[in-house]
Amino acid sequence: MSQRVSRRGLFGLGAAGAAVVGAGVVASNTLFEEPPVAHASSTSDPFPFYGEHQSGIVTPAQDRLHFVAFDVTTKKRAELIELLQEWTAAAARLTQGKEAGSYGAVGGAPEAAPDDTGEALGLPASGLTLTIGFGASLFDDRFGLADKRPAALADLPKFPGEQLIPEISGGDICVQACAHDPQVAVHAIRNLARIGFGKVSVRWSQLGFGRTSSTSRSQATPRNLMGFKDGTNNLKLEDAALLRDQLWASAQDGSDWMAGGSYMVTRKIRMGIETWDRTSLVEQEQIFGRDKGEGAPLGKKAEFDPVDFASKGADGQPYIKDDAHVRLAHPTSNGNAHLLRRGYNFVDGSDGLGRLDAGLFFIAYQRDPRKQFVPIQMNLAKHDALNEYIKHVSSGLFACPPGVRDAGDYWGRTLFG
Ligand SMILES: C=CC1=C(C)c2cc3[nH]c(cc4nc(cc5[nH]c(cc1n2)c(C)c5CCC(=O)O)C(CCC(=O)O)=C4C)c(C)c3C=C
Ligand SMILES: [Fe+2]
């Protein structure tokens, strides 16, 4: 059964209702709380906010993304904790289709700035998830966190060929907003930025459309901007044993506060779309090692046929070449390392030289980037035939803490508490 608490419903309470709600965040939650659905059954339904793990990781990937990285500008630890608490309360509301604050866009005092910006009034939850992560720079000496930096949050090495732009890389805190409606995702990030005014500033942000991964077997595999099915051989929510082994951090990994959390790597990867579009079909397929129509491994027929790196064609050469993307990224080439990929296509207009500024905003979750993203990306950066058509221009690495248990908990409590 689904619940629908749309912002329109809330708005309908009017000022009197809003005034009661205004007694406080907890009170407002109590007033409106309904048991969250375990699984959204339509694209307008909410996903639960509270749980052992943050939503937005194994949650079936939604269609739209607004990703933001903040720098913390306050020097006071207490102010940062207070902000995380305010953000958590707002996120609990927003993900359930409510306004960011209890007064809302039009229910507060006319003399005061509204506690919601209003552009999502009337829109349902739209499957919004908000996922927070902490970057390595947060663990300097500003907030007394230096000895809490997890070993797995080690700086990524420099990879061959990358051309990173510092202004759109890194950040102290990130928030990934995913939803089926772009207005809902943008509204959520905008309101978190508004609440954070004076304590954080936006370092960079990225819009994404058209998910490029499936994170559940219930989803069809989407296509990336190169026209290939992307996300076929991904970690999926149904792979319980693999998720335990490869996705979720545990207390035994060395940082108690991260138990139940996961590490997120982001890479903005620009594609040379125009060159790609002039490349022959056979070459495109050899670059990935899969066919373009079905997404089947070369030498096989169906998308989910197992990849066979040994079998050879009539010419005596392996169907999947040594420099093919799927061979180099496969767990068998990387010490059994898996990733949960959750990326999005992006088009940021054009670059002034007649080319689309487009590509893949790659997002991957894992238990330990030193053993997963780093060896895979090193292998790809050195040998991948795809490198001729792509350029990594931004990078991020964030420790995403465990889920928020209930209305008395907050994002990052295990780190600060
Ligand atoms: C370091 C990790 C990876 C980066 C960076 C990356 C970039 C990238 N990938 C595609 C398109 C496809 N990738 C596919 C498979 C695939 N990619 C990675 C990792 C990275 N990709 C992995 C681990 C895998 C799975 C390999 C396997 O086990 O078979 C595929 C095939 C379909 C699929 O299984 O998802 C495509 C297509 C692009 C366009 C890109 C950079 C722009
Ligand atoms: Fe890939």
Interface pTM, i.e. ipTM: 0.99
Residue nearest to atom 32 of ligand 1 (CA): 230
Query: Which residue minimizes the CA distance to atom 13 of ligand 1?
Result: 230
d(CA 328, CA 405): 39
Note the pLDDT of residue 42. 82
C-beta 362 within 6 A of ligand 1? yes
Give this prediction's pTM. Answer: 0.92
Is 267's C-beta closer than 6 angstroms to any atom of ligand 1?
yes
pLDDT at site 10: 42
Quick check: CB of 377 below 6 Å from ligand 1? yes
Q: Domain extents for the chain?
A: 1-417
Q: What is the DSSP letter of 117?
A: -
CB crowding 132-143: b at 16 or more within 10 Å, else e: bbbbbbbbeebb
* Residue-level pLDDT at 24: 26
Q: Is 269 helix (H, G, I), strand (E, B) or coil?
A: strand
The H or E element spanning position 202 is strand 200-211
Q: How far apart are the first and last CA of the chain?
A: 36
The number of CA neighbours under 13 Å toward the Cβ of 336 is: 3
Regarding the beta carbon of 289 and ligand 1, being less than 6 Å apart is answered no
Question: Is residue 72 lining ligand 1, measured as CB closer than 6 Å?
Answer: no
Task: Identify the bridge partners of residue 202 per DSSP, sorted by sequence position.
Answer: 70
Residue whose CA is at the smallest distance from ligand 1 atom 38 = 360
Q: Which ligand is nearest to the CA of 156?
A: 1
Look at ligand 1, atom 30, and give the residue with the nearest C-alpha.
230
Nearest CA-CA partner of 366 in 64, 13, 57: 57
Task: For residue 272, give the ligand nearest its CA.
Answer: 1
Q: Which of 326, 365, 383 to mutate to test the pocket of ligand 1 (most atoms within 8 A of CB)?
A: 326
Q: Please list the ranges in the chain whose pLDDT falls under 50.
A: 1-5, 8-38
User: Cα–Cα distance between 259 and 149 in angstroms, integer?
Assistant: 13
> Residue 1: its pLDDT value, please?
34
